[in-house]
Amino acid sequence: MKRSIIAMLLIGFAIGCQKVPLSNRKQLVLIPNEQMLPLSFSNYKEVLDTSRVVRSGSQADMIRRVGGRIRQAVESYMAANNFSSRLKGFQWEFNLIESPQVNAWCMPGGKVAFYTGILPYTQNEAGVATVMGHEVSHAIAEHGNERMSEGMLAQGLLSAGQVALGAALAEKPQQTQALFMNAYGVGAPIAYQVGRGLPHSRSQESEADRLGLIFMSLAGYNPQEAVDFWGRMAKAGGGKKPPEFLSTHPSDERRIRDLQKQMPDAMKYYQRARR
């Protein structure tokens, strides 16, 4: 069984290998946007229909305002670096959801959700831009597609030689839908095992941090706020977080250290945006 799964992953990697913008890390992405985006849009609508969406007020206005600026920054950056094709079919949307969850996410196609529970930690508009840039970067780098492609191959829901998301949804709809929601951080996180899964997820988080820092800077938000935000999150954790090797995220210390290393480059984008 293990050999067959490994063989499928290797075949899939050969077929669906592409590179992540900026980091140039090779990734497995098997599901084309023509199949992924309709699933994303329908799931996003379902989330909104079953949630208490904050339609008006200063907080909702801020989420949409920051989202609009991040969108412009993303589109400018992707065009300048010949990655505009990754934005084909995007239908951007930014919504605030009333919930105590300290969370935010972005589905394929630019479908963003912020939960009010994270706002005490963002504290200001630049803090929101930190989270917004990070979550949008996951979608730009197609991290969810990557996780879903691997998960569907491993569970036998997707043939490496025949990419048919619709067939998987028809044959095993609950399993496929669960993979999608988990891959994009909606609901319970994916239960990774130590070894293959965890380091891979941490690499995705680091890529999203790096891209997000650039996007918020290009949008005219001081990238130093990213360090301040993650510092607040570290204090909120109270030292109860698991060791880094057992976590799907980099340790707070490592994340802040990496952001500080990237800060000189980010400040160049920020200064350029302010001219």
Fold for the domain defined by 2-274:
Collagenase (Catalytic Domain) (3.40.390)
Q: DSSP E strands: which ranges in 179-272?
A: none
Pairing of strands 17-19, 26-28: antiparallel
Using the 8-state DSSP alphabet, how is residue 164 labeled?
-
Per-residue model confidence as pLDDT tens digits over 175-213: 555 555 565 556 433 233 334 455 557 888 889 999 999
Is the pLDDT at 65 greater than 70, yes or no?
A: yes
Query: Per-domain residue ranges for the chain?
Result: 2-274
Indicate the average pLDDT of the chain.
Answer: 80
Is the pLDDT at 228 greater than 70, yes or no?
A: yes
Is the pLDDT at 81 greater than 80, yes or no?
A: yes
C-alpha separations of 170 from 12, 104, 155, 173 in Å: 21, 29, 15, 6
Q: Exposed/middle/buried for 193, CB within 10 Å: 0-12, 13-18, 19+?
A: exposed
What number of residues does the chain have?
275
Question: Average pLDDT for residues 87-110, to the nearest whole number?
Answer: 94
Is the pLDDT at 273 greater than 80, yes or no?
A: yes
Contact 44, 177 (CB under 8 A): no
Is the pLDDT at 241 greater than 90, yes or no?
A: no
Nearest CA to 30 among 135, 140, 161, 192?
161
Q: To 10 degrees, what angle do helices 197-218 and 224-237 make?
A: 140
Mapped onto helix, strand or coil, the DSSP state of residue 92 is: coil
Per-residue model confidence as pLDDT tens digits over 124-171: 999 999 999 999 999 999 888 888 777 767 665 555 444 455 555 455
